[in-house]
Structure 1
Amino acid sequence: MARILIMMTKSAKLGLLDGQDHPSGFWAEEFVVPYERFIAAGHTVDLATIGGTPPTPDQGSLSPTTIGYTRPAGSPDHDAENAAHYREVIDSLELLRKPMNLDEIERDDIAGYDGIYISGGHGAMDDLPNDPHVTRVVNWILELDKPLAVVCHGQSALLGLRDGHSRWPLEGYRMTAFSHDEEMVTDMAGKLPFVLQVELERLGSKYEKSPDIWGSCVVEDRKLITGQNPYSSTALAERFLTKLS
């Protein structure tokens, strides 16, 4: 069976352009759904954050109302059931209370994993883009040619990458991430420090998205697998498991 490392944000907030700190964290669905699929497939899962800080779930991602808002129109309504399940899993996992310290992970540690998954949530925009330890680890993942799955705002961890010629190593890759259209219908529209889709396109990615807002979209290019939004978590996890096999 495979060894999988999950990387995620430690931030419980996101600083906005209006000077306010917006309560945030990791998005429950984007962690719980892939985690449960990895475990069900018999794989070993480790979890790491910057500084080994226990991550905070975004309370919106545990609200049936918000969960219902962040899925495509007409999709099945299991929002209350899902919210309760996500909370139960998050509250029960020692993995979340005592994560590994990403700062202390070495290249040989990454070499020992079969694949890496970066979970999302708006909190990821706060700490993942500019942290040197995150950038170092993701560079090792690319150098070692490990399967890398990233969802929603987790793609923030890709922004700081540069190769030996100061170029973005993912230039020309097909990928997706939380879209500008989706950001515009959140309560942070116009206040975000950056828009992930815009930044990925600026760096040279070939950005793709679902034709429907909140629709599932998963893009695979070489060893990189990206998911657009929370509703993409299931398809992303399944594609990642296929890649590992």
Structure 2
Amino acid sequence: MPRIAFLVSSARAIDLHESSDHPTGFWLEEALLSYERFVEAGVEVVVMTPDGQAPVPDPYGLEPIFHYPAEDRDYFASVYRTFQHDPDDIRITLEHTTDLDLVAGRRIAQRMVAAGRTPSQAHDLISAAARIAWLQHRRLVDVMLSEGIDGGLPEAALRDGVAELEAASTAVRDDRLARLARIEGFAAPVALSSLTDEQLGEFDAVFAPGGHGPMVDLPENPDVARLLSVLHEQGKTISALCHAPALLLAAPDRIDGQWLFEGFRLTSYTNEEEDQNKIGRLGMPWLLASALQNAGAIFDDAPYPWASHVVVDRNLITGQNPYSTEATADAVLKALELL
């Protein structure tokens, strides 16, 4: 049975320019869904933190806006693609991907269909209203009411669709927290610092989920450096998602004096994505994408922010953002010949 060292940050605070000692941690969605995917595939997953302290979910990542049901996200994507045809013109921002009204389009469309519209007619109405809301930074329901694109629904029905999505996303978040609480490794992780090089070599891969926490306790960590050195020397899989590629900055230099991952293609949370989230706007002490490029990486990001994007270069697998979670986990399983 393959074994994965599931390395989670145990950091609980990060110093930002406008908020010192700001609460942080790991990103719930990335950690939980990856862990469950690996276990489902028959992998032995050993949860560890640098110091053996129990990790905590990043409070920002617990907001319901990050836990919309997949079917609502997919419908929303089908809507914005009707008025953004060229990938170069799809300037998706975090505001768009998390906007409660916009993502509630599927539930509003369902109410239109129940009132007599065809699914196609409902989709066209939602798309027309969403385009205006997108361009003018307005709420979808307000646009539908003021522009007469309400499909004949009363205001109460429109807002009920939005309220239904908010309740559903809160339920998804609460279910994920409950599932996380049942995983013993997150309550009592192994201390990476307690493992010998020989023990580290018994793992087939390392995987690190993101959240802003990894930027605090993974770079320049000597035990992370040992883990990377041991696995890389054996050609084993090294994988990280979102902010977790920060762990690569702990890697030592090669014998020729170059960084261990000099010239590797990789991705991570981008500077543009950082500029759009609530934490990043408080002033990051440093930017991950820039640091990786300065270290010697060939940075490879998606054509636009918040797209699922995974880069595989030799034994290194990196994912760009939370929306890359499942694809990154599957790339790791493929490397372990389990897919």
Letter in 2 for 1:176: T
Alpha-carbon offset, residue 46 of structure 1: 0.4
Query: 1:224–1:71: structure 2 CA closer, same or farther, 3 Å change rule?
Result: farther
Alpha-carbon offset, residue 67 of structure 1: 4.3
Residue 112 (structure 1) aligns with: 202
Letter in 1 for 2:207: Y
SS in 2 for 1:95: helix
**How far, CA to CA, are the matches of 2:334 and 2:9 in structure 1?**
25
Is the 1:60–1:67 contact (alpha carbons within 8 Å) kept by the matching residues of 2? no
Residue 86 (structure 1) aligns with: 176
Is the 2:5–2:48 contact (alpha carbons within 8 Å) kept by the matching residues of 1? yes
Is the 2:19–2:282 contact (alpha carbons within 8 Å) kept by the matching residues of 1? no
SS in 2 for 1:37: helix
Q: Tell me whether 1:200 sits opposite 2:302 in the alignment.
A: no
Mark the runs of 5 or more structure 1 residues left unpaired by the alignment: none
SS in 1 for 2:51: helix
**How far, CA to CA, are the matches of 1:71 and 1:138 in structure 2?**
37
Deviates more, 1:41-50 or 1:158-167: 158-167
Radius of gyration: which is bigger? 2
Is the 1:72–1:212 contact (alpha carbons within 8 Å) kept by the matching residues of 2? no
Alpha-carbon offset, residue 19 of structure 1: 5.9
Q: Tell me whether 1:176 sits opposite 2:267 in the alignment.
A: yes
Mark the runs of 5 or more structure 2 residues left unpaired by the alignment: 69-93, 107-164
Letter in 2 for 1:7: L
Letter in 2 for 1:192: M
**How far, CA to CA, are the matches of 2:269 and 2:24 in structure 1?**
15
Letter in 2 for 1:179: T
**How far, CA to CA, are the matches of 2:57 and 2:330 in structure 1?**
23
**CA-to-partner distance for each residue in 1:9-51, whole Å, 9 max, x for gaps?**
0101111234612111000111011100111111111011122
Query: Percent of counterpart pairs with the same letter?
Result: 32
Aligned length: 245
User: Structure 2 matches for 1:3-18, cutoff 5 A?
Assistant: 3-18=3-18
The structure in which a higher percent of residues are helix is 2
Match for 2:243 among 140, 153, 160? 153
Letter in 2 for 1:210: A
RMSD: 2.1
Letter in 1 for 2:62: L
Query: 1:67–1:179: structure 2 CA closer, same or farther, 3 Å change rule?
Result: farther
**CA-to-partner distance for each residue in 1:93-124, whole Å, 9 max, x for gaps?**
11111111111112211221121111111011
**CA-to-partner distance for each residue in 1:107-163, whole Å, 9 max, x for gaps?**
211221121111111011011112211112112121121111110111111112222
Is the 1:72–1:213 contact (alpha carbons within 8 Å) kept by the matching residues of 2? no
Match for 1:235 among 305, 309, 327? 327
Alpha-carbon offset, residue 80 of structure 1: 3.4
Deviates more, 1:197-206 or 1:84-93: 84-93
